[in-house]
Structure 1
Amino acid sequence: MFQRDFIMNEARKFALILAKLLGLKAEGEYNEYLKYFNEVLDEEYNAELEELLKLDEEDFKKRIAVTGYTAEKLNALGQMLYVFAEPFSADEETSALLKKVMVIFNLLEKEHHYESFDNITRRNVIYQYFNKNYERT
């Protein structure tokens, strides 16, 4: 019972965080959005945006693997990074961010057996992004 309550409270907390981030971004409050984004990364993930952006895919996988985050916390991080990458530009920073989101989605599926329609939809959008912008000729 306690574990279920903990998971529900954690899911609610991250839903509120994501809602606030989405609201700030939609309102064009980019400085406030970035400030809050960094605060959440620091408080919840003990990380900084610049640090995460600098990690290559393998180092990011290693960092995430040792954290022991719950599925809800990992999912929230994936959602935050996805929203941060929007609107998707055909550049290296966006590509690197989306690869990190895919690392999280893969970990959620394989290690936590966690899937959601939202993540499946976002995964398909990411695949389309890579197919459109990085097609092999």
Structure 2
Amino acid sequence: MFQRDFVMNEARKFALMLAKLLGLKTEGEYAEYLKYFNEVLDEEYNAELQSLLELDDEAFKRRLLDAGYSPEKLNALAQMLYVFAEPFTPGEETSALLKKVMVIFNLLETEHHYESFDNITKRKSIYNYFNINHERS
């Protein structure tokens, strides 16, 4: 019972965090969005965006595995990075962000047997981005 309550509380916490990030970005509060995004990365993942982007896919995967994040926490990180990458302007940063999201989606599926229709839809959007921008990534 305690484990289930803990998981539910974690899921709620990340849902609220993602909702706040989406709200700030949608409202055009980019400075506040960026500040909150970086705070969450630091507090929840002990990371900075630039340091994550500098990791190759294998090092990024190893970092996530070593940290032992729950599926909910991994999914929240994937959603944060996906939202940050939107509207998918072609470029190195967008490609790096989307590659990190794909690493997380793969980990969720292979290590945690976690799949969602939302992530499948996002995966298709990412594939589409790379198909259109293959020479730039």
Scaled by the length of structure 2, the TM-score of the pair is 0.96
Are 1:123 and 2:119 counterparts?
Answer: no
Residues in 2 aligned to 1:85 and 1:57: alpha-carbon distance in whole angstroms: 17
Are 1:107 and 2:128 counterparts?
Answer: no
Alignment root-mean-square deviation, CA: 0.8
Residues in 1 aligned to 2:31 and 2:38: alpha-carbon distance in whole angstroms: 11
Residues in 2 aligned to 1:130 and 1:36: alpha-carbon distance in whole angstroms: 28
**Hey, what does 2:59 align to over in structure 1?**
59
**Hey, what does 1:44 align to over in structure 2?**
44
Residues in 2 aligned to 1:130 and 1:51: alpha-carbon distance in whole angstroms: 23
User: Deviation string for 1:10-65 (max 9, x for gaps)?
Assistant: 00000000000000000111110000001001111111112112212121111111
Residues in 1 aligned to 2:38 and 2:51: alpha-carbon distance in whole angstroms: 11
**Hey, what does 1:25 align to over in structure 2?**
25
**Amino acid aligned to 2:112:** H
**Amino acid aligned to 2:121:** T
Residues in 1 aligned to 2:48 and 2:62: alpha-carbon distance in whole angstroms: 16
Gaps of 5+ in 1: none
Q: Which SS does the other structure have where 2:52 is aligned?
A: helix
Does structure 2 conserve the Cα–Cα contact (< 8 Å) formed by 1:42 and 1:48? yes
Are 1:77 and 2:90 counterparts?
Answer: no
Work out the number of aligned pairs and report it: 135
Q: How much does 1:89 deviate?
A: 1.3
**Amino acid aligned to 2:102:** M
Gaps of 5+ in 2: none
**Amino acid aligned to 1:128:** N
Please identify runs of 4+ aligned residues in structure 1 that moved more than 3 A: none
Q: Which SS does the other structure have where 2:32 is aligned?
A: helix
Residues in 2 aligned to 1:117 and 1:33: alpha-carbon distance in whole angstroms: 26
Does structure 2 conserve the Cα–Cα contact (< 8 Å) formed by 1:57 and 1:96? no
Residues in 1 aligned to 2:133 and 2:53: alpha-carbon distance in whole angstroms: 20
